[in-house]
Structure 1
Amino acid sequence: MKNLPLVDLAVIAAYLVAMVLVGVYFSRKNKNADQFTKASGLIPGWATGLSIYATFLSSNTFLGVPGKAFGTNWNSFVFSLSMPLAAYVAARFFIPFYRRTGEISAYTHFEHRFGPWARTYAVVCFLLTQLARMGSIFLGIALSLQALTGYSMQMIMVVMGICIIIYTVLGGIEAVIWTEVVQAVIKTFGALLIVYLIVQSMPGGVDKIVDIGKANDKFSLGTFSLTFTESSFWVVLLYGFFINLNNFGMDQNYIQRYHTTASTKEASKSLWLCVWLYVPASLLFFIIGACLFAYYQLHPEFIDAIKQKVAMDRLPIGASAADVSRLVATLQPADYGDKVMPHFMVTKVPPGLMGLIISAILSAAMSTISSGMNASATVFTEDIYKRYVNPNLSGKKLLTLLHLSTVVVGLAGLGAGIAMIGVKSILDTWWTLSGIFAAGMLGLFLLGLISRQTKSPEALTATIIGVLVIIWMTFSGKLPDEYGFLRNTLHSNMIIVVGTLTIFLTGMVLTKLKNRNAEPIQKEAIVPNE
C-alpha cells in the first residue's frame, strides 16, 4: 500500500477533470440522436482510427500483456499478428456492407435476414459481453490502482465510473472518439516511459535484457507444431483471426465508428490505421514484460515480496505462516505476473511520473468502458426499445432515452466490476465469456452474409447446435472422471474457432439438404400434363 505524493494526485485529478470537460464541451453539439450515435458522420478518418486503436488498447493490454509475457513468453503476440488478416476481410466486405445498409445498429441486419429471434439473440450476446468486458476492466484497473494508491477497489471503481458516465452521457460518440484520441497518445507515451524506466534501472541495459530473455526462451512465439491442444502458434493465430473478425465485423463498438466517417473509404482507412498502430504497440507491451522479467531476475528479493503478497491474498484470513510459506514455494512466474508491473511502479517510478503512468492506465480503461457504454446504449435503444416498445420514438425523447440508457449501462458495468471482486482470474473469465458469445454471433453473421439461400429454420437449427457445441467445449472439462471421455481436449482458445465454424457449416449443410429435397418437387411441378 502506498500514499501517492500530492503532485501525482494532482496529475490524476487534472486528467479526470479534463475528460469531464471534454464531455461538457461536446454536449453543446448533441441536439439529436444522430449526433449522439454517429456524430453526423463528420469525424475525420484518422481520428476514428485512433479511437479504434485506443479501444483495442484496453487496460487488459496495458496490465495483462506484460504480466503474460513475464509469466510465459511472446506466444500471445501472435494474436496481434492475425489482425491484418481480419482487417482485410472487414475492409473488403464488412465495412461496405454496413455503410450500404445505413443501419446504426450492427444487429438490425439479423432480423432482416433471419427474423426477430436472430436479432434478439445477437443483441443479448452483445450486451452480456459488454457487461462482462466493462466489469473485468473496472476490476482490473481497481486491483492495480489499489496497489499503487492504497485506496479501496470500490472507491476507485466508483470515482472512475462517475467520470466516464458524465463525459459519455454529455458528449456522445463525438466526445468518446476525441477523448480516445487523447487517450491513445497518453497510453502510448506511458508504455514508452515504462520501458525507459526499466532499461534505466537495469545493470547492463538492453544487452542484458536480451541475454536473459534468450536464456529463458522469453521471445518464443510458441510451438509451430500442428497441435490444437495447447497454446501453439497456430491456435493463437486462429483465435486471433476469428476474435478480430468478430471485433471488426460484429462488435457495435467498431461498427458504430464506421458510420462516424464521411465515406466507406475513410472508414476503411480508420480501420487500417488502428491495425498498423496496434501491432507495434502491443509488441511494446510484450517488450515491457520481457524487460520486467530480466529486471526481477537480477532482483530476486523483490520476487519474494510479491510472492508473499500473492499467497496472502489467496489464502483465507488467519492462515498460518507455514501455509503461506508452502504456497509461496509452489508459485510460478505465471501465477504472479500481473503483480509485477504495479510493484515496479511502486518501488521505482519517481513522483510526478507516477501520476502520468497512472493516468495512462486510467485512460486505457476509460476508453474501452466509454465505448462500451455508448455502443450498448445505442443497441438497447435501436434493437430493444424501438423494436419492442415504441418504434416511433424520435427527437428529444429519443436523445433522452439514449442518455438514460448510457447511465444505466455504465452503472451496470460498474456493478459487474464490484461483483467480480474475488474472481480468481479476470482475464480467463473474460476470454471464456467472449469466446462463447462471439462464436455464436460471428457464425450466424457469416452464414447470413455468405449463404443467401439459408432461411430462418436452417439458421436457427445451426445456431442451437453451435451453442450446444460451445457449451460443451467450455464446461466439459468439469465432468467427473467416469465421463472423462466426453471432455473437450482442444485448447480453450479454439472455442470461438470451432463454435463459429459449427454454426456456419451446419447452416450450409442444412441449406444444401433442403434444396436437394426440394428439387424433385420443383421438377415434377413443371412436367406438363399428358
Structure 2
Amino acid sequence: MNNLPIIDIAIIVVYLLAMVAIGFYFSRKNKNTEQFTKASGKIPGWAIGLSIYATFLSSNTFLGNPGKAFGSNWNVFVFSISMPLAAWVATKYFVPFYRKTGEISAYTNLEKRFGPWARTYAVICFLLTQFARMGTIFFGMALSLQALTGFSMQSIMIVMGLCIIIYTVLGGMAAVIWTEVIQGIIKTLGALLILYLVIKQIPGGFTKVIEIAKADNKLSLGSTTFNFTQPTFWVVLLYGFFINLNNFGMDQNYIQRYHTAASEKQAAKSVWLCVWMYVPVSLLFVIIGTSLYSFYQLQPDLIDPVKIKLAAEKLGALATPAQIQNLAATFKPADYADKVLPYFMVTKVPTGLLGLIVAAILSAAMSTISSNMNASATVFTMDIYKRYFKPGINDKQQLFSLHIATVIFGLIGLSAGLAMIGAKSLLDTWWKLSGIFAGGMLGLFLLGLISRQTKNAAAITATIIGVLVIVWMTFSENISDQYSFVRNSLHSNMIIVVGTLTIFLAGILLTQFSRKNQAPKQ
C-alpha cells in the first residue's frame, strides 16, 4: 500500500479543520443546556432529515455494505427494505408521542409508567449500544485509512477521535446537525464517485457487471425459505424492522432530533426524508460491492496482494513464501471482503479524487460518532446525574456535565474501537452487539406504550424473562457439546426480534393473568 500523495492529505486536513471550525462557530451560541441538546428547536426539517440520514449512513454502511455484497450477495440490502414500515410506525406514533411529552430524554416516560428501574435499565441498554456502535465505526474508519496512509489503526483512531470530540463538545447539537448535513452530501457524492471509477475500468461497463453478478448469483436478496437459523431474506427483514423501530422509537440520537424541529410536522418529514435518501443510497453501496466483485473476477491477479497480505498476517512472521501463497489461494471473496474497497481506492483512484473519497469515509464515521456522543452525554446528564446525584443542578452545572460526559463517552467509544481490532467482519460485529443490547429496551418501551393496563410488577417480571432469553440466545453457543440440545439454533440477528417479543408478550400475558386473579368471583 502506498502513502497518500500530498494533495490528498491536504484535502483531508482541510476537511478536518472545517469540521472543527464549525464547532468553534456554534460554540458562540452554545451557552445553555437547551442549545446544546435541542439547538433551541429552530432547525429546519430538511436539515434534520439530512442529519438523520447521515447518522444512518455510517462507515458500517460505507465499508460494510460493499464488503457484504462483494463476499456474498444483496442480502444486506433487505435491512434497508424494512425502513419504510418502521418509519410509518415512527411518524404515526413515536414522533407525536415524544413531541407531546416535551422531554429531551427518550427514557423519562419509562419511569412515569413503571418506575425508576425501567428508566435506568433503558439508559444502560442505550449506552452499551452506543459504545458498540461507536467502536465499530472507529474500527471501520481506521481499517480503510490504514490501507491508504500506512499509519497504524491505533494512531488513526486517536487523531480522528480527538477531532470529533473537539467539535462535538464545542458546538453541541447545532454543530452535530449542520456538520452532518455537510457530511451527508459529501458521503453521497463520494459513493457516486467510487461507483463511476469502478464501472469506468470494467470492459463492458455496467452491463458486464450485471452479467457476471447474475452468473454467480450475486444479486440474490437471500433465501426466501422460512429458515431462521441462517441470514435468510426473512431473518434480515425482521432484524431490520426491529432495529429500525428501535432507532426511530427508542434511540436518543433520533428522539433528540425530533425536539430540534420547529413543529411535529417538520419532525415527521425529517424521518421520511431520511428513509427516501437512505434506501437508494444503501443500494448504491451494494452495487459498488457487486461492481468490485466483477472487476476483480475479470482481473483476478490484481487482488492477489490483498490475499497474500492477509495470509501472511494469519500465518505469522515465520511462514515461508510457499505457505503464504498456498493459504492465499484458498481464500474466498468473503474472507477479504472488508479490505477490497480500501485496496481499490489506493491502487485505482487518481490523486486528488482519493482525498475526496477519504473525506467521505471520514464524514461517514464522524457524523455518527458525534451524534452518539451528544446523545449519550444528554442521557447520562438527564437520566443518571441529574436524576440520582444532583437533582437541584442549575443550567450552568448541567451544561458543564454535558461537556464532560461528551468527552468521556467519546473516549469510551474510542477505546471500544481499539478493542475491536482484529474483528472478522465489521458489519457482523455491529449487528450482533446492537441486537443484544437493543432487544430488551424496545420490548419494554412497546409494552409501556401499547399496554396501558400493564403495571410495574408485570413489566419488571417480563423484562427479567426477556433478558434471560436474550442472554441465553447470545451465549448458548458456548455450552458444551454434551448439552448441545439446549443451544440457541436461531441466527444471531433474531436476538432482538425474540427478545423484544418475549418482553412484550410476557408483559401482556402477565397483565391478563393478574386481572383475572383480581376479578371478583361470582
Q: TM-score band (shorter)? A: over 0.9
Q: Which position in structure 2 is the counterpart of 1:295?
A: 295
Which residue identity is paired with 1:207? Answer: T
**Deviation at 1:424?**
3.4
* Structure 2 gaps, min length 5: none
**Deviation at 1:67?**
0.5
- Residues 3 and 150 in structure 2, CA contact (< 8 A), matched pair in contact too: yes
Q: Which position in structure 1 is the counterpart of 2:173?
A: 173
- Residues 30 and 172 in structure 2, CA contact (< 8 A), matched pair in contact too: yes
Q: Output aligned runs, 1:211-226, within 5 Å.
A: 211-226=211-226
Structure 2 residue 401 is matched with structure 1 residue 401: yes
**Deviation at 1:260?**
0.2
- Residues 135 and 417 in structure 2, CA contact (< 8 A), matched pair in contact too: yes
- After TM superposition, the structure 1 stretch with the greater mean CA deviation from structure 2, 150-159 or 502-511, is 150-159
Cα separation, 1, equivalents of 2:101 and 2:264: 12
Q: Which position in structure 2 is the counterpart of 1:61?
A: 61
Cα separation, 2, equivalents of 1:313 and 1:448: 50
Which residue identity is paired with 1:225? Answer: T
| CA distances 1:378-417 after superposition (whole Å, capped 9, x unpaired) | 0010001001111121222211111111111111111221
Structure 2 residue 322 is matched with structure 1 residue 341: no
- Residues 132 and 416 in structure 2, CA contact (< 8 A), matched pair in contact too: yes
Q: Which position in structure 2 is the counterpart of 1:192?
A: 192
Which residue identity is paired with 1:78? Answer: V
Structure 2 residue 424 is matched with structure 1 residue 424: yes
SS at match of 1:259: helix
Q: Which position in structure 2 is the counterpart of 1:373?
A: 373
Q: Which position in structure 1 is the counterpart of 2:500?
A: 500
Cα separation, 2, equivalents of 1:330 and 1:486: 34
- Give the 3 Å change call, closer, same or farther, for CA 306–5 of structure 1 in structure 2: same
Cα separation, 1, equivalents of 2:172 and 2:256: 12
Which residue identity is paired with 2:514? Answer: K
| CA distances 1:156-209 after superposition (whole Å, capped 9, x unpaired) | 111111111111011100000000000000000000000100111111111111
Which residue identity is paired with 1:198? Answer: V
- With normalisation by structure 2, the TM-score equals 0.98
Cα separation, 1, equivalents of 2:327 and 2:94: 50
Cα separation, 2, equivalents of 1:129 and 1:172: 21
Q: Which position in structure 2 is the counterpart of 1:527?
A: none
Which residue identity is paired with 1:103? Answer: E
**Deviation at 1:328?**
2.0
**Deviation at 1:326?**
4.1
Which residue identity is paired with 2:63? Answer: L
Which residue identity is paired with 2:178? Answer: W
Which residue identity is paired with 2:260? Answer: T
List structure 1 segments (4+ residues) > 6 angstroms apart after TM superposition: none
| CA distances 1:201-238 after superposition (whole Å, capped 9, x unpaired) | 11111111111111111111112222212221111111
Q: Output aligned runs, 1:20-419, within 5 Å.
A: 20-419=20-419
Cα separation, 1, equivalents of 2:48 and 2:408: 25
Which residue identity is paired with 2:111? Answer: E
| CA distances 1:77-98 after superposition (whole Å, capped 9, x unpaired) | 1110100000000000011111
Structure 2 residue 495 is matched with structure 1 residue 512: no
- Residues 64 and 426 in structure 2, CA contact (< 8 A), matched pair in contact too: no
- Give the 3 Å change call, closer, same or farther, for CA 423–234 of structure 1 in structure 2: closer
Cα separation, 2, equivalents of 1:480 and 1:177: 49
Which residue identity is paired with 2:13? Answer: A
- Residues 12 and 356 in structure 2, CA contact (< 8 A), matched pair in contact too: yes
**Deviation at 1:140?**
1.3
CA RMSD of aligned residues (A): 1.2
Cα separation, 2, equivalents of 1:68 and 1:420: 19
- Residues 3 and 149 in structure 2, CA contact (< 8 A), matched pair in contact too: yes
Structure 2 residue 427 is matched with structure 1 residue 435: no
| CA distances 1:224-255 after superposition (whole Å, capped 9, x unpaired) | 22221222111111111000000000000000
- After TM superposition, the structure 1 stretch with the greater mean CA deviation from structure 2, 60-69 or 406-415, is 406-415
Which residue identity is paired with 2:455? Answer: K
Which residue identity is paired with 2:262? Answer: A
- Give the 3 Å change call, closer, same or farther, for CA 453–145 of structure 1 in structure 2: same
**Deviation at 1:322?**
4.6
Which residue identity is paired with 1:61? Answer: T
Cα separation, 1, equivalents of 2:197 and 2:350: 10
Which residue identity is paired with 2:184? Answer: A
Which residue identity is paired with 1:153? Answer: M
- Residues 176 and 367 in structure 2, CA contact (< 8 A), matched pair in contact too: yes
- Give the 3 Å change call, closer, same or farther, for CA 345–454 of structure 1 in structure 2: same
Which residue identity is paired with 1:75? Answer: N
- Residues 338 and 425 in structure 2, CA contact (< 8 A), matched pair in contact too: no
Structure 2 residue 480 is matched with structure 1 residue 451: no
| CA distances 1:332-376 after superposition (whole Å, capped 9, x unpaired) | 111111111111111100100000000000000000000000000
Which residue identity is paired with 1:209? Answer: V
Q: Which position in structure 1 is the counterpart of 2:462?
A: 462
Which residue identity is paired with 2:145? Answer: L
SS at match of 1:346: helix
Cα separation, 2, equivalents of 1:195 and 1:140: 19
Cα separation, 2, equivalents of 1:64 and 1:168: 25
Cα separation, 1, equivalents of 2:338 and 2:178: 30
| CA distances 1:117-173 after superposition (whole Å, capped 9, x unpaired) | 111111111111111111111111111100011111121111111111111011100
- Residues 105 and 383 in structure 2, CA contact (< 8 A), matched pair in contact too: yes
SS at match of 2:93: helix
Cα separation, 1, equivalents of 2:390 and 2:490: 46
Identity of aligned residues (%): 70
SS at match of 2:519: helix
SS at match of 2:260: coil
SS at match of 2:468: helix
Cα separation, 2, equivalents of 1:494 and 1:414: 28
Cα separation, 2, equivalents of 1:182 and 1:293: 30
* Structure 1 gaps, min length 5: 525-530
Cα separation, 1, equivalents of 2:478 and 2:490: 14
SS at match of 2:336: helix
The total of aligned residue pairs comes to 522
Q: Which position in structure 2 is the counterpart of 1:479?
A: 479
Cα separation, 2, equivalents of 1:231 and 1:413: 28
Cα separation, 2, equivalents of 1:299 and 1:319: 27
Cα separation, 2, equivalents of 1:375 and 1:109: 17
